Amino acid sequence: VTTRATLVASGFFAGFPPGDLERLDACAAEVELEADRHLFRQGEPADRFFVVREGLVAVELPVPGRGVLIVDTVGEGDAVGISWLFEPARWQFDARASRPTRLVALDAGCLRAALDADPELGHRFTRRFAAVVQHRLQSARLRLLDLYGPAAGEDGGGVPG
């Protein structure tokens, strides 16, 4: 079991009142991963929510014929794992430590119960969580534009150099 100081230091929970942290502390544990070890794999039960304290986590998917493709990385202070909040609570991607990584892990059942029991905490958490999702959505949308991809068009209209 981790401490409130660890939760506060984890970035995602920065600014949460001490009462919230006390409640969440009961759900939390620290996790350490060596480089290239998996945090979870696609299809497994999504039973935890993670915040990276140090290191880097690659969110990836094996694609037949193309190997494993990394679609996102999550760094210090940021959250890993969305699927735990929604039915059927199974991971949609793999998560692997790109380098030695330390995380705070919150048990999903315990966390959901805490959010349900305290609507103010639930509201605070959901707002923070939605910001993460919004950020990921914006990142995915912008990368869909393939801005660095092959330029279609004419000299002068694009970026010849």
Partner 1 sequence: VASPADLGSPVAGRGRPEDHGRGLRGLAPEPEAAAWAVGALAAAGGAGAWPEPMAPRRYRVRARRRELADTVTLLLDPVDEPIGAYLPGQFNMLYAFAVGEAAISVSGRATADGALPHTIRAVGATSRALCAARPGEMVGVRGPFGTSWGVGDGAGGDVVVVAGGLGLAPLRPAIHQLLAERERYGRISLLVGARSPETLLFRHELESWRGHFDLHVEATVDAAGAGWHGHVGLVTGLLEHAPFDPASTLALACGPEVMMRFTAQALVDRGVPADAVRVSLERNMKCAIAFCGHCQLGPTFVCRDGPVFPWSRVERLVGIREA
Contact 51, 12 (CB under 8 A): yes
Question: How far, in Å, CA of 106 to CA of 16, rounded?
Answer: 15
Query: Would you list the DSSP string of 62-96?
Result: EETTTEEEEEEEE-TT-EE-SGGGSTT-B-SSEEE
- The DSSP element (H or E) to which 96 belongs, if any, is strand 94-97
Taking CB under 8 A as the criterion, the residue among 16, 48, 60, 125 binding partner 1 is 60
Taking CB under 8 A as the criterion, the residue among 3, 92, 134, 139 binding partner 1 is 139
Smaller CB distance to partner 1: residue 103 or 121? 103
Site for partner 1 in 22-41 (CB under 8 A): 35
Smaller CB distance to partner 1: residue 29 or 35? 35
Contact 98, 58 (CB under 8 A): yes
Smaller CB distance to partner 1: residue 123 or 143? 143
Under rule CB under 8 A, residue 1 binds partner 1: no
**Which residues here bind partner 1, judged by CB under 8 A?**
35, 56, 58, 60, 66-73, 75-77, 96, 98-99, 138-139, 142-143, 145-151, 153-161
